[in-house]
A and B are shown apart, each in its own frame.
Chain A
């Protein structure tokens, strides 16, 4: 029917009285960047976790390349997570091994995928440190000593090194200074275009969504209230909540 990389429909999940996901559907195509925006508590992180198979929905289905993500078994899902998928956490400390060197962090996915040549792994790590603008001389340093922005760039290098097809990013610039955020967004945009990645990115930042994404999904109280091409949704919002969201950004 379509050449979607990932396809979700009817996703529902409650936490007690809270409907974190309420009949959510979405599609993402190869090479496409989709932004998920919405107020705090609207279900963005929950959606990402359900799509990535980290959490099961109460009902609904997630298909990746035609396969049911929640029915495929943990072993197959983990294999996806360390090869074709990537997950970039808001807090880099959740996505890095802080007591493993920068080189080891970047090399881990290569080794998990079977790389057994130390020199080759190291060369690849150096290449990736350069790509995310970390001085390769710091390859043997512990990420604990890095600034927040560097840690986040390292997490991105570590995630992209195996050239995944689909990357989930949960507010990747969330905890950073505004000046650092802008630089990081530029970097993400360049890498995504260069590698032709499909990306599902959660963000509070409408400007970031406009910069990075092809399409946008607006969430409120567990529902997708509006979705479409970024320019269309942001320039001509249909849903009152989206209108509010866009105008509050303009006002700010």
Chain B
């Protein structure tokens, strides 16, 4: 049930149509940042208003929505966005990755491989991958237009020269479809390979910066690197203390008053879907 007084998905139909047009253009030009008339949302920018507007524009009454924040379905941010769409769209919600038709996320890509027909919506704080290197917006536009990305490699070169390795562990830049340099949003570099030739449609919304971009299904997404310093998706060398996974991305938690640390899966749904550790050992 939609709460009285709201249009389906909160946004009015004209706004949704405008956003869908931007999305179509984004899908046609994988990795290219399309400007859109971002609307004020009843949530602060840090809460992913760009992602929420994209979700609102692609959601239909028959969709099943999952919302994750840092991999978890139960954080305040995830819970309030899910509740928001429950109220303004009345859609079914789920915590199970494979049951969802639309997944809105901040900071993670689910561990379970996504399928054709699913849509993954990323919340993006800063869509421009070159902004730290080139503060002039007009110049970054020109660099994208000419695929002039040498400067990004200079940054990677500097990292290796100074630290022996590329130090970027989040928001690691990717080249989409061999053409546009793209920020994958602040997901761990560990998740980057999941973007490559993903079966699901990936949509990215940046509310404050008023940009939308997209990666259509089965599109090449390559992390920038050097031949002799290939990209490495880094993960803590440990097992999840709950499910024992040695392949999922882990969060480090302090588990008791003595400051004892333990690793657990960041993807709570993935962790819960695996047999508990005792059974696996038995």
Contacts and interface: CB of A to CB of B under 8 A. Distances in A.
A101 B142 contact: no
B226 A101 contact: no
A100 B142 contact: no
Contacts of B145: 75
A194 B146 CA distance: 32
Contact of B162 (A79, A116, A121, A140): A140
B116 interface: no
Interface in A68-100: 74-75, 78-79, 82, 97, 100
Nearest to A77: B146
Contacts of B157: 103-104, 107, 111, 118, 121
Contacts of B153: 111, 116
With a 10 A CB-CB cut-off, give which of B160, B228, B229 has the most chain A CB atoms.
B228
Nearest to A109: B150
B207 to A, nearest CB: 31
A121 B158 CA distance: 12
B140 to A, nearest CB: 14
Contacts of B150: 82, 108-109, 111-113
Contacts of A118: 157, 160, 226-229
A86 B151 CA distance: 17
Contacts of A107: 154, 157
B148 interface: yes
Contacts of B154: 97, 100, 104, 107-108, 111
Contacts of A120: 228
B161 interface: yes
B227 A104 contact: no
Given A78-B146, A103-B157, A104-B161, A116 B227 contact: yes
Contacts of B149: 112
Contacts of B161: 101, 103-104, 122, 139-140
A165 B153 CA distance: 24
Nearest to B151: A108
Nearest to A120: B228
With a 10 A CB-CB cut-off, give which of B151, B161, B225, B227 has the most chain A CB atoms.
B161
Given A74-B142, A116-B227, A117-B228, A104 B160 contact: no
Interface residues of A, number: 25
A16 interface: no
A122 B148 CA distance: 21
A161 to B, nearest CB: 12
Interface string B155-187: 001101110000000000000000000000000
B158 A101 contact: yes
B129 to A, nearest CB: 16
A240 interface: no
A12 to B, nearest CB: 28
Nearest to A99: B158
Contacts of B160: 118
B153 to A, nearest CB: 4
Contacts of B162: 101, 140
B146 A104 contact: no
Given A111-B150, A111-B153, A119 B158 contact: no
A111 B152 CA distance: 9
Given A74-B142, A78-B146, A103-B161, A117 B151 contact: no
Contacts of A111: 150, 153-154, 157
Nearest to A102: B161
Given A100-B154, A104-B154, A107-B154, A119 B146 contact: no
Nearest to B147: A75
A107 B228 CA distance: 15
B200 to A, nearest CB: 30
B148 to A, nearest CB: 7
Interface in A211-246: none
Given A104-B157, A119-B228, 5 more contacts: A111-B154, A112-B149, A117-B228, A118-B157, A118-B226
Interface of A: 74-75, 78-79, 82, 97, 100-101, 103-104, 107-109, 111-113, 116-122, 139-140
List the 4 closest pairs (A to B, CB-CB), nearest first.
A112-B150, A111-B153, A118-B226, A111-B150
28 contacts: A75-B145, A78-B146, A78-B148, A82-B150, A97-B154, A100-B158, A101-B158, A103-B157, A103-B161, A104-B158, A107-B154, A107-B157, A108-B150, A108-B151, A108-B154, A109-B150, A111-B150, A112-B148, A113-B150, A116-B227, A117-B227, A117-B228, A118-B157, A118-B227, A118-B229, A119-B228, A121-B157, A122-B161
